[in-house]
Amino acid sequence: MNLFLSTLASARRGNFLTKDPLREQRGIFRQLLAKAAATRFGKDHGFRAFAGLPFEKAYAEYRKKVPVRTYRQFWDEYFGRFFVKGDGNRSLLLENVTWPGKIPFFCETSGTTAPTKYIPFSTEMFAANKRAALDLTACYLADNRQGRLFSGKLLYMTGNTALSDLGPGVKSGDMSAITLCKRPFYLKPFIEPSPGISALPWEEKLDSLARKLLSDRNIRGISGVPPWILLLLKRCTEYGGKPLPELLPNLELIIHGGTSMTPYRKEFEQLFGIMQPNFLELLPSSEAFMAFQRFGEEYMRFTPYYGVFFEFVPMEELDDRGIPKADAEAVPLEGIETGRRYAVILSTCAGLWRYHIGDTIRFVSRSPLFIEFTGRDRFLDRFEEKVTQSEVEEAVASLNRLDGVKINEFMVGPDIAERRHLWVLAMEDCGRPDPAELAMRLDNALRTMNADYATFRFQQRIHPPCVIPVGRDVIYRWSKEIRGKLGGQSKIPHIDPTLDGEMIQSLIRYLQTAPSKNAAVT
């Protein structure tokens, strides 16, 4: 890294590390209220009357007058009336509705827990995300002086970059694709793939990315969701026929986020052996940038600096659907407790106000503000057992630590009639794992981690789980053919989010209709 770049990185890292999170949050809160006071939402909730008050008084009024809302409530009350769909065209024009001016972009989420969502993405949010990316990059470069990341390129695994029109001057698409399409001109020489490859259908894109990664030794980093990065790396080994360290000797960094790394960590370790690249975890979303990991640190740092005011609702305050009440006892950043799991509530510079995003975190320390991502606030809870996503993922990770077991992807959901959990495990054909043995180990792992589950199993209120091992790509094929979602930021829901297990049953039916193609690994 040259001296000029090193000096800039060190200066930016220093500025990042000296920020006061509480003071920054209070400043962002004031700015958001003042800017949105004249919007329809601001008028509906009386922003102008309390925007200039001291923080404690303004926040108390804000909590009193603005209820916690889900996406569906925002859509029904504010966004939906401006959405027009007909003759194959869609239109969504928000101007001075919940944020001043016209919203130029909408991020289409994968719809893991609801139909497709249109998340507003303002120019201010774009600028905030760019600051976050620069801070992350500066920290990495300054913390890892031996790194050669910026003597090469970063491969960015996005969704389809063919953005859709939603009206005059308005586009929609995958958030990562919007970011890639609108990246600053000075970053274009450092980013792969080309727009042509990014716009390909997922399977063709995966092949092209693998060939690009194998042929271009200047690619030193990969950014994406863990399961898709794994698919890419495995495709490289299939084409290259050698161990990954030999095929990708210059790969230095993997930036991952969007879903927990826990179930996939063993596979990464096995792919790279002793020549492990550096790994950095992010907590991004279509709604906000929340955290990133510094080189050499175990946990992500919470980053409350980028146009978002945060509140937190303790997990025990959520209802049995994982949703907080409109008047939930939320606390601002200064009120959090370490070791406690919280649902995250956002107010953003794109016009979301006290928005329940659906992600959960746990603060590990207050100084620095270290956090760990604990999954979606979805529970495996149809029998009142309240098993969390992080517990589910740790149970699967415990299987992946066994010899002869490689689980690439999975889903678990309720079998209501049999009062049990159905686990579909997509596995490498590296042995003949006994489904009964796997089920027993999953059962024991959850009993150890979750007292409610252990009690319910002891009382036989929940029967032993059922494990269905399938080929490694089966869940992805189901997601593509049945859900119409694969690749980019479209994540496989590890816990079936439907009320009665409709999603896991859809997957089971898919297995039954094409038994030869979806043969189990047994």
CATH of the domain at 439: 3.30.300
386 belongs to a structural domain: yes
> Do 329 and 229 share a domain, yes or no?
no
480-495 residue pLDDT tens: 888 877 665 567 889 9
**End of a domain among 344, 376, 408?**
376
Q: What are phi and psi of 468, to 5 degrees?
A: -120, 100
> Do 254 and 225 share a domain, yes or no?
yes
317 belongs to a structural domain: yes
> Do 435 and 484 share a domain, yes or no?
yes
294 belongs to a structural domain: no
Euclidean distance between CA atoms 465 and 467, whole angstroms = 7
Residue 360 has a CB neighbour count (10 Å cut-off) of 24
115 belongs to a structural domain: no
| Residue in the block written with tokens 């959405």 | 83
292 belongs to a structural domain: no
Extended strands (E) in 6-122:
83-86, 89-92, 105-108, 118-121
| Residue in the block written with tokens 């959090």 | 336
Determine the pLDDT at residue 387. 87
Say which amino acid occupies 104. Answer: P
Determine the pLDDT at residue 433. 81
Tokens found for residue 400: 């992946």
Beta bridge partners of 466: 422
> Do 446 and 396 share a domain, yes or no?
yes
| Tally of domains in the chain | 3
**End of a domain among 376, 397, 415?**
376
> Do 213 and 249 share a domain, yes or no?
yes
> Do 397 and 267 share a domain, yes or no?
no
Determine the pLDDT at residue 234. 92
Angle subtended at Cα 344 by Cα 395 and Cα 296, rounded to the nearest 5 degrees:
65
287 belongs to a structural domain: no
Residue 28 has a CB neighbour count (10 Å cut-off) of 21
> Do 272 and 387 share a domain, yes or no?
no
| Residue in the block written with tokens 């065209």 | 89
> Do 270 and 130 share a domain, yes or no?
yes
Long-range contacts of 24-28 (CB under 8 A, 24+ apart): 24/304, 24/305, 25/304, 25/309, 25/310, 25/332, 25/333, 25/334, 26/55, 28/304, 28/305, 28/307, 28/308, 28/309
Chain centroid offset of residue 88 CA: 30
**End of a domain among 376, 399, 421?**
376
459 CB-side CA count, 13 A = 9
Residues of the chain where predicted confidence (pLDDT) is lower than 70: 1, 110-115, 185-186, 320-321, 377-378, 430-431, 486-490, 499, 514-522
Determine the pLDDT at residue 155. 93
402 belongs to a structural domain: yes
Euclidean distance between CA atoms 266 and 386, whole angstroms = 27
> Do 507 and 410 share a domain, yes or no?
yes
List, in order, residues 6 or more apart from 519 with CB less than 8 Å away: 470, 471
> Do 370 and 396 share a domain, yes or no?
no
> Do 391 and 367 share a domain, yes or no?
no
Determine the pLDDT at residue 215. 95
Cβ(333)–Cβ(310) below 8 Å:
yes
174 belongs to a structural domain: no
> Do 355 and 391 share a domain, yes or no?
no
Determine the pLDDT at residue 261. 82
Q: Which domain holds residue 274?
A: 124-150+187-278
Residues in the chain: 522
